[in-house]
Amino acid sequence: MTDSNPNIFKTVVPERRGTTSAEVVIQLRGMIHRGELRPGDRLPPERDLAKLLGVSRPTLRAGIRSLAAVGVLQSRQGAGTFVVESDGPPSLDSSPLSLMASLHGCTSGEMFEARRALEMAVAGLAAERAKGEQMATMAEEIAGMYASLEDPEQFLIHDVRFHQAVAAASGNRILTALMNMVAKVLFDIRIKTVNRATDLKESAEMHRRIYRAIREHNPEAAREMMQDHLIRAQRGWELEDESDLPSTSSDNDANDNGASRTL
Amino acid sequence: MTDSNPNIFKTVVPERRGTTSAEVVIQLRGMIHRGELRPGDRLPPERDLAKLLGVSRPTLRAGIRSLAAVGVLQSRQGAGTFVVESDGPPSLDSSPLSLMASLHGCTSGEMFEARRALEMAVAGLAAERAKGEQMATMAEEIAGMYASLEDPEQFLIHDVRFHQAVAAASGNRILTALMNMVAKVLFDIRIKTVNRATDLKESAEMHRRIYRAIREHNPEAAREMMQDHLIRAQRGWELEDESDLPSTSSDNDANDNGASRTL
DNA sequence: ATCACGAAATGGTCAGACCTTCTATAAGAA
DNA sequence: TTCTTATAGAAGGTCTGACCATTTCGTGAT
């Protein structure tokens, strides 16, 4: 029985700062921050919880939905509502970032640059702190890359896992989550293009150079290798589709990046 | 009349991949990505939009609420539902990050480190790209700091605005948004503690050093100055409350940061 | 012409019902 | 006895309809 103790929820709506559903969100969020709701916990059924909190079921559902939208709760029809289980690295939903980029007309160049900044920071930290087991994981993924030089799809899997291994070795879950969020947005764009096989062998060797820098606990080198790798990856991606841009856009003067495709 | 053309919404639910409300989210999100919904636009009334999309009003409301939770839409009772207007820098809601940190037991040290990485990256870019007007804004905020050495509250305002000015000068709105998100989480924690006046004069001078490095287009120096500044700020914050930690926690071995207070 | 009032518009909440999906328990077969 | 299958309950998803709270804007009085 993983259900939380129902008496925790006795805190009915005391005052109304804003709307009632906003109050529900505040209540639930507070329970999580206070540790009364832990990952994997199942919330009481909506009908019961609504009574406990003193609100109607639609209002409670509105609050639950708000927290589900940001990836904190997860409702499964017929099963219940759960606090999201965190197996693996912590993660943030990428859709808010993606939507924000669309609303502001951000360019893919800015997104690439953000990823570069995060990955460089993470690589530097990993070079300072990586433990033996984490080193081994990275090395294994690189071996997997070399073994998949003829299979771009498989290569990509090892590529992604290597970067996650580096992030894990950094020991900073906040940066890891941010990095994955940005990477996910770029991945969702990239997946639309045909996966034209770029030079996988060169890519594998760049990854190996990153690994060696981390292995030798050389943060500066790790950052530099990571930067080289990502700049080259970006360039390769930009060359893949030069058929969409009708003319050179010139409304944004703050970026000297190559790609100015609006997201 | 800022209402969007209603015929855009004629795209009723064609197929059901998941739940109906999820389909609504997909529809609305697609309109934003495609630029059919622009910042500041008002959506049709819920009752009308529900008919247009072929769903009931509660279902539509569920979808709207999901997008409102991630800061894309905003509903005002009596007025309508609007696509969030983006005056000023693009921003992301910080509560998902805050909740994620709580769920995973992340430490404030990790959060500080993430901020440091982002601010350093931003400072480096600002040093490469800052234009004259942006330089002027930074300089003004520094002047404001020196003018508020006796008024910690006012000083803090200029402090925050200086960092935002640097971010704006970086020309990367993605990094700016991420930086602000992390900074907001830290600010919400810090606001709970008494704002014991640390050495404001020294702080102002560190900001001035950051500014000078940016002014001279010296990215390395800008990064280094920013790092110094933030490390010192973190240290000062940690010294402010040493009365809460009962004993030295030792369950997380991946961080050699000072503060290991769980968020 | 200006200001105050009120009606219409619009999102927020509630109630109750029904459907869809999942889970767990119990019955039946190997 | 053990494994498989069927069934009933539980839980979230959706719908209809109504009413409340707030905002907006037009109309009327001053």
Residues A203, A204, A209, A215, CA torsion sign: positive
Q: Say if CB A241 and CB A234 are below 8 A apart.
A: no
Torsion of CA A238, A244, A249, A254, to 10 degrees: -30
Q: How many residues does chain A have?
A: 263
Which of helix, strand or coil describes residue B80?
A: strand
Interfacial B residues in 191-250 facing A (CB < 8 Å): none
Write phi, then psi, for A96 (nearest 5 degrees): -60, -45
Q: What is the DSSP string of B138-149?
A: HHHHHHHHHHTT
**What is the SS3 assignment for B161?**
helix
Residues with Cβ < 8 Å from B149, sequence gap 6 or more? B155, B200, B201, B204
CB B43 within 8 A of CB B83: yes
Query: What is the pLDDT, as a whole number, of residue A176?
Result: 96
What is the pLDDT confidence band of residue A73, given thresholds at 50, 70 and 90?
Answer: very high
The candidate with the shortest Cα–Cα distance to B128, out of A230, A251, A181, A117, is: A117
Is A193 buried (19+), middle (13-18) or exposed (0-12) by CB count in 10 A? exposed
Distance D17 C1' – A40 CA (angstroms):
37
User: pLDDT tens for residues A131-161?
Assistant: 999 999 999 999 999 999 988 889 999 999 9
Contact B65 A68 (CB under 8 A): no
Interchain contact, B182 vs A171, CB within 8 Å: no
B98 vs B104: CA distance, rounded Å = 10
The answer to whether the CB atoms of B121 and A117 lie below 8 A apart is yes
SS3 (DSSP) at A4: coil
Q: Which nucleotides of D are covered by protein (CB under 7 A)?
A: 9-18, 21-24
The mean predicted confidence, pLDDT, of chain A is 86
Nearest CA in chain A to B252: A171
CA distance B94 to B188: 10
Query: Apex CA A108: angle with CA A106 and CA A109, to 5°?
Result: 100
Tens of pLDDT along chain B (263 residues)? 444 454 567 655 555 567 899 999 999 999 999 989 999 999 999 999 999 999 999 999 999 999 999 999 999 999 999 999 877 788 899 999 999 999 999 999 999 999 999 999 999 999 999 999 999 999 999 999 999 998 888 999 999 999 999 999 999 999 999 999 999 999 988 766 555 557 889 999 999 999 999 999 999 999 999 999 999 988 887 776 554 444 333 344 444 444 567 77
Nearest-CA residue relative to C1' of D12: A77
Check pLDDT > 70 for residue A4. Answer: no
Q: How far apart, in whole angstroms, are the C-alpha atoms of residue A241 and residue A234?
A: 12
Name the residue with tokens 């769980």: B262
Q: Looking at strand C, which nucleotides approach a protein CB closer than 7 A? A: 8-17, 20-23
Distance B161 CA to C7 C1' (A): 45
Q: Does A2 contact B at CB distance below 8 Å?
A: no
CA A59 remoteness from chain centre: 30
Give the orientation angle of helix A57-69 with respect to helix A46-53, to 10 degrees.
110
Residue type, B211: Y
Domain ranges of chain A: 2-83, 95-246
Buried b (16+ CB within 10 A) or exposed e, B25-37: bebbbebbeeeeb
Instruction: Assess contact for A164 and A103: CB atoms under 8 A.
Output: no
pLDDT value for B152: 87
Question: Which nucleotide shows the minimum CA-to-C1' distance to residue A80?
Answer: D11
Beta-carbon pairs below 8 A across chains A and B: 178
B2-83 CATH:
1.10.10.10
CATH tag for A95-246 (out of 3.30.565.10, 1.20.120.530, 1.25.40.10, 1.10.3720.10): 1.20.120.530
The tokens for A65 are 């939905």
Nearest CA in chain B to A70: B96
Shortest CA distance to B178 belongs to which of B260, B67, B96, B85? Answer: B96
Contact A61 B66 (CB under 8 A): no
